[in-house]
Amino acid sequence: MSLLQATPLNYYNSKYQWDGSEGATNNSIPRSLFTIASTFPYTPNTISDFTITINGETQVQSNYTYAVTNGVATVTFTHLTSGFSTTALTNAGEIAANAVIDLILNTSVLGDYRYISLKDIVGNFIVGYVGDGKLVNTAKRSEILFQAKRCIQEFAYDISRVEKIQEVEIPPSLSIPMPQDYVNYVRLSWVDNAGIEHIVYPSRHTSVPTQAILQDSDYDYLYDVNENLMVGSPVTNERFRDFDANNLSGTLESNDYFYHTNYHTEKIGNIGQRFGGNPENMQENGLFIIDEANGKISFSSNLKDKLITFKYISDGLATDNEMKIHKFAEDAMYQSILFNLLSTRIGVPEFIINRYRRSRRAAMRNAKIRLSNLKVGELTQVMRGKSKHIKH
């Protein structure tokens, strides 16, 4: 059986389609029960994962129910919306046999063929590696599932990571919350009017304290009745937000006393030329610091009201749709699960474990090379620039 089960309509439009004649009778209502074929590879998990239209008319969610029983997904209609009215389905108000009914997925499935799902990974591993005469005699599905999820996490950090991107406008507080599934940042940039990104760099010269210890006039620590330290709100980050970033980068404002035509040239070409200046800070794009304790990211004052793009990585387990692996890393996934299972078994000889440790390492290295996505044509184009004479 081929791997492509979805029709072009299923894939390109992210929808499943019935005509009214495919409906079965339910509770004496003709043509009210519709079944999704088992060949449809994008079966929704819940009723919130899709919307339904009948002859182009969107049906409110209360018009139908959704159920998955023994792997069979069904949609059952109880009401019908037409124009500005919604009526209950009866023998007289049945769905027409020539009606076009579309189940439209809320999430696009474009490009999904590149990945293999967690369910298929576990199933394929059991078929290929578990059983009498195979590398693993017995293993519970739950054990394989646990190891597969751990591998997805590790691969998301290092091999097949997918960068997520949020677009956020910096508020007057100069602070934004970390994304819900944030693990680590890749890059933060502010976006100019042309849509070009300018990298914002992290600051190593300030921090966000988790607490400020209260002191008396003699600078001795204060304690409460339980002899615990009394703490207040830190001000380090407030001072950072209020700080004029131009004083750090060496930027001259247009109304500065020393600003004139000659300085304008130096401002563009030699920004930040100050005696003892740190090149790390001699840039106009601003700075950010990460507040790990409170799950926030703070920015320097020159980024207020700027639009930024926040690129970050997650662990690949945040949602059901994310629990999949790129096919370039499929073999590395199987080798990793196999090694993890064997290394936790009592009585497996050390040379066997070492053998599959090497197999896992080789498969992961191949996956990294494949996913690096190096193209000869693109490399050639970049290398052509090496022949240019660059004046210093």
Q: Is residue 388 part of a domain?
A: no
Q: Clarify whether residues 365 and 342 are in a common domain.
A: yes
Cα angle, residue 217 at apex, residues 214 and 220 outer, rounded to 5°:
55
Mutual angle of helices 141-158 and 118-129, in 10-degree steps: 120
8 A C-beta contact, residue 170 and residue 176: yes
Token digits of residue 15? 């929808």
Q: Clarify whether residues 305 and 212 are in a common domain.
A: yes
**Local structure of 19: helix, strand or coil:** strand
8 A C-beta contact, residue 21 and residue 30: no
Letter string b/e over residues 346-377, b meaning 16 or more CB atoms within 10 A of that residue's CB: eeeeeeeeeebeebbeebbeebbebbeeeeee
pLDDT, position 139: 92
Q: Clarify whether residues 84 and 136 are in a common domain.
A: no
Alpha-carbon distance of 24 to 323, in angstroms, equals: 34
pTM: 0.74
pLDDT, position 336: 95
Q: Is residue 231 part of a domain?
A: yes
pLDDT, position 192: 92
Q: Clarify whether residues 122 and 193 are in a common domain.
A: no
pLDDT, position 266: 53
φ/ψ (deg, to 5) at 220: -80, 150
Q: Is residue 260 part of a domain?
A: no
Residue after which a domain boundary falls, among 297, 313, 329: 313
How many independent structural domains does the chain possess?
Answer: 3
Q: Clarify whether residues 191 and 177 are in a common domain.
A: yes
Residue after which a domain boundary falls, among 110, 130, 151: 110
Q: Clarify whether residues 295 and 365 are in a common domain.
A: no
Q: Clarify whether residues 220 and 297 are in a common domain.
A: yes
Q: Is residue 55 part of a domain?
A: yes
**Residue ranges making up the domain that contains 325:** 113-161+316-380
Q: Clarify whether residues 14 and 153 are in a common domain.
A: no
Q: Clarify whether residues 106 and 237 are in a common domain.
A: no
Of 240, 339, 343, 246, nearest in space to 298 by CA: 240
- Report the run of H or E that residue 189 belongs to, with start and end: strand 184-191
Could you list the pLDDT tens digit for every one of the 392 residues in the chain? 677 888 898 889 999 999 999 999 888 888 889 999 988 888 898 999 999 999 999 999 999 999 999 889 999 999 888 877 888 888 767 788 899 999 999 988 888 889 998 989 999 999 999 999 888 889 999 999 999 999 999 998 888 877 899 999 999 988 999 999 999 999 999 999 999 999 998 887 778 788 889 999 999 999 999 999 998 888 887 787 777 666 665 555 555 555 454 555 554 455 445 545 566 666 778 889 898 888 999 998 889 899 999 999 999 888 887 888 999 999 999 999 999 999 999 888 999 999 999 999 999 999 999 998 888 888 888 788 777 665 55
Q: Is residue 391 part of a domain?
A: no
8 A C-beta contact, residue 289 and residue 149: no
Q: Is residue 153 part of a domain?
A: yes
Residue after which a domain boundary falls, among 313, 330, 351: 313
Q: Clarify whether residues 45 and 143 are in a common domain.
A: no
Q: Clarify whether residues 209 and 308 are in a common domain.
A: yes
Q: Is residue 390 part of a domain?
A: no
Q: Is residue 369 part of a domain?
A: yes
Q: Clarify whether residues 82 and 37 are in a common domain.
A: yes
